[in-house]
Amino acid sequence: MNVLTAARPLDVVGDFPAIPDGWAYLDTAATAQKPRAVIDAITRGYDTSYATVHRGVYQRSADMTLAYEAARRRVARFIGAASPDECVFVRGATEGINLVAQSWAAQHLKPGDRILLSLLEHHSNIVPWQLVADRIGATIDVVPLTPDQSIDLDAMAAMLTPAHRLVALAHVSNVTGAILDARRAADLAHGVGAKLLLDGCQSVPRLPVDMAALDCDFYVFSGHKLYGPTGIGVLWGRAELLDAMPPWQGGGAMIDRVSFAGTSFAPPPGRFEAGTPHIVGALGLHAAIDYVDAIGLEAIHAHESALVEAARDALAGFNSVTLYGPADSAGIVSFSIEGVHPHDIGTILDEGKVAIRAGHHCAQPLMEALSIPATARASFGVYNGPRDIEALVTGIERVTRIFR
């Protein structure tokens, strides 16, 4: 298939020990496989240098504290944060969004205020806002999509009012791969005095991001989608916003002084990091960022864009296949096959050693809008290449033969 020659592999699959030869892993949007550099960093962290942080006066604890805070500085450089203190370590994007909902939104929203989301949001960027809106008496509005399942910013501009206090949108959709014009979204939100939170789970592994250029107010992402470990993620927030936010969990490390007469709290980011943190997770995230930066996000985006183009062109050759999302999606291709449930597609592909995601992708409102129960989703990473697309296409041919 000459269409596959458009995809130029990065030839780094050998860095990923969990990907055996002949296995096409096309579920990176759910979680990325881990390069040896990340696995080694985690192993070293537990094996030869493990100790607690921010507490011990002995040398190893001091060294681990330095390594932990070095990871925070590395995150700050990676996303263009003005200061490491703007970067809060959380368990993942879900916790980061909940933190903003329970701390910032719970403090600033009042009855009658409005929150603006989009139709393609992940459940993690819907449910936390529903919880706080129900408690406070705020209202949630939903931005519709364009015909290619991108967020309709023209519609958003028409919907925004001074009553909107917060806008929360996916920077890249986990279903369609649509890339948001984040700066325009920020300008629109700020034009009515609203804050903007961006879900960067799918964008940070694929696109260069810079907080100053995006001009958002909060940004969240998960380490495990960035080739790092699970259980670690980042909430970035403007310094003045974080400084004014109350803690949302209490415990060790997030305090200044505790007495039964009252407690004072540490400044950000410590204020939001109660308890013993995921120390080795931060070290693994540091290693993952180093790995991605060594390849270059521009090269990664070009690589994945070529794979998306090749996959879409190949799948478009099947009359029974419907493709979703824009042609220039970021590393993600969602599709359905007429008369075949996506779970059956996934099962048959798995028999041919092709791993995809099949389901509603934690985006049930989007599925309802598309009038389908689910989609099949192939999502790419640095380790994928033309052979993976060939395996996907061969699997789809088998699906269509079985259900013909």
Q: For the segment 83-118, what is each residue's pLDDT rounded down to a tens digit?
A: 999 999 999 999 999 999 999 999 999 999 999 999
Give the pLDDT confidence of 282-339 residue by residue, as tens digits: 999 999 999 999 999 999 999 999 999 999 999 999 999 999 999 999 999 999 999 9
Say what the pLDDT of residue 56 is.
83
Among the listed residues 33, 125, 30, 34, the one whose alpha carbon sits nearest the alpha carbon of residue 332 = 30
Residues 227-286: tens digit of each pLDDT = 999 999 999 999 999 999 999 999 988 999 999 999 999 999 999 999 999 999 999 999
Give the span between the Cα atoms of 380 and 88, in whole angstroms. Answer: 28
Q: What pTM value is reported for the model?
A: 0.96
pLDDT at 332: 98
In order, the DSSP letters of 56-103 are --SHHHHHHHHHHHHHHHHHHHHHT-S-GGGEEEESSHHHHHHHHIII
- Quote the mean pLDDT of the chain: 96
- Copy the structure tokens of residue 109: 């929203």
- DSSP-derived letter for residue 267 is P
Residue 193: per-residue pLDDT: 98
* Catalytic entry in 87, 201, 216, 362: 362
**Top-level CATH class of 38-293?**
alpha beta
pLDDT at 3 over 90: no
CATH architecture of 2-35+297-402: Alpha-Beta Complex (3.90)
More confident residue, 139 or 57: 139
Q: Which residues are CB-contacts of 106 (< 8 A; sequence separation ≥ 6)?
A: 132, 135, 136
Residues of the chain with CATH 3.90.1150.10: 2-35+297-402
With a cut of 80, say whether residue 8 has pLDDT above it: no
- Helix or strand run (H / E) with residue 259: strand 255-259
Cβ neighbours of 183 (radius 10 Å): 12
User: Can you tell me the distance from the alpha carbon of 364 to that of 374, in angstroms, rounded to the nearest whole number?
Assistant: 8
pLDDT at 9 over 90: no
Report the SS3 class of residue 225: helix
- pLDDT attached to residue 213: 98
SS3 for 98-122, per residue? HHHHHHHHHHHCCCCCEEEEECCCC
Contact 308, 378 (CB under 8 A): no
Is 362 a residue of the active site? Answer: yes
* Residue 336 near residue 376 (C-beta atoms within 8 A): yes
The bridge status of strand 139-143 relative to strand 114-118 is parallel
Q: How confident is the model at residue 404 (pLDDT cuts 50, 70, 90)?
A: confident
Q: Where are the domain boundaries for CATH 3.40.640.10 in the chain?
A: 38-293
